[in-house]
């Protein structure tokens, strides 16, 4: 099956998905154009405890006072990866009013400064984290908004799979982005019920060119079964064997996460 045949087969699903996304955008008075992903790297349990307190009691409330909502906070599933402690904080921002301004706005937030004083003014020899990386993400056109998962059940059982795909060149990177959109990869994920939170281009980060996306599952067993179905599907076999999309990923990182109790989703 050529990619043109695959596109034709998936056209109906794409149309329905586009209509659904348009309805979501029209129902919101504020369109969220970009996302920020903050990745805190920690060295020990003490830093993790300080981070949790700061995020829950100070940082997230400050974001919400500044009209930033749907904030996800995630950690590695300990049974799978516990050699490095990291906390991932994901939230949408309004490009027109918040891009480049949010950090300054939060710095001037007196409530945040008071509630987060111990964290923000920690001594140099006892910092609350080892390093912070902030990524700016732009959503793919076939899923233009962040969509918090509707999966229910205990948060500690849920799996949020964050994937990072790097490409060897800008041209190969554009080809991989096209594979998600025009190629139908997003459509296939949607069809199989991967509950995507976002698909996005990394506009600014330490590893470029790069794209990232996040899908969600009620537990690890469901995650493994869905990926098995994905790889065995005729759509993926056709897409992955298409020479047009060959060699467009040079490095892939898979992070299996769960949401903290104070995460919005």
Q: Where are the domains of the chain?
A: 3-259
Contact 214, 162 (CB under 8 A): yes
Q: Over the stretch 2-44, which tens digit does the pLDDT of each residue have?
A: 444 444 444 444 444 443 444 434 333 445 479 999 999 999 9
3-class DSSP state for residue 93? strand
Q: Which residues pair with 136 in a beta bridge?
A: 36, 204
Residues 222, 261: Cα–Cα separation, whole Å: 21
Residues 70, 72: Cα–Cα separation, whole Å: 6
pLDDT band, residue 140 (cuts 50/70/90):
very high
Q: Over the stretch 62-98, which tens digit does the pLDDT of each residue have?
A: 999 988 999 999 999 988 766 679 999 999 988 655 5
Residue range 3-259 forms a domain whose CATH class is: alpha beta
According to the model, what pLDDT value does residue 96 have? 52
Q: Is 227 exposed, middle or buried (0-12, 13-18, 19+ CB in 10 A)?
A: middle
């Amino acid at each position: 099956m050529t990619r043109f045949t695959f596109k034709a087969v998936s056209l109906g699903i794409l149309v329905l998905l586009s209509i659904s996304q348009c309805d979501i955008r029209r129902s919101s008075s504020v369109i969220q154009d970009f996302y920020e992903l903050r990745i805190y790297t920690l060295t020990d349990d003490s830093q993790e405890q300080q981070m949790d307190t700061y995020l829950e009691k100070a940082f997230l409330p400050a974001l919400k006072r500044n009209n930033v909502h749907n904030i996800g906070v995630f950690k590695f599933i300990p049974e799978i990866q516990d050699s490095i402690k990291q906390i991932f904080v994901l939230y949408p921002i309004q490009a027109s009013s918040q891009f480049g301004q949010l950090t300054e706005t939060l710095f001037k937030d007196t409530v945040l400064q008071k509630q987060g004083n111990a964290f923000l003014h920690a001594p140099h020899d006892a910092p609350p984290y080892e390093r912070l990386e902030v990524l700016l993400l732009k959503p793919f056109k076939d899923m233009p908004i962040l969509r918090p998962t509707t999966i229910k059940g205990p948060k500690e059982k849920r799996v949020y799979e964050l994937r990072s795909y790097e490409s060897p060149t800008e041209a190969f990177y554009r080809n991989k982005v096209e594979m998600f959109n025009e190629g139908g990869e997003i459509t296939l994920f949607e069809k199989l019920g991967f509950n995507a939170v976002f698909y996005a281009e990394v506009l600014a980060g330490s590893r470029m060119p790069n794209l990232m996306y996040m899908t969600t599952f009620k537990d690890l067993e469901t995650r493994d079964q869905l990926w098995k179905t994905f790889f065995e599907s005729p759509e993926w076999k056709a897409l992955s064997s298409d020479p047009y999309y060959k060699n467009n990923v040079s490095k892939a990182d898979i992070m299996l996460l769960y949401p903290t109790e104070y995460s919005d989703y």
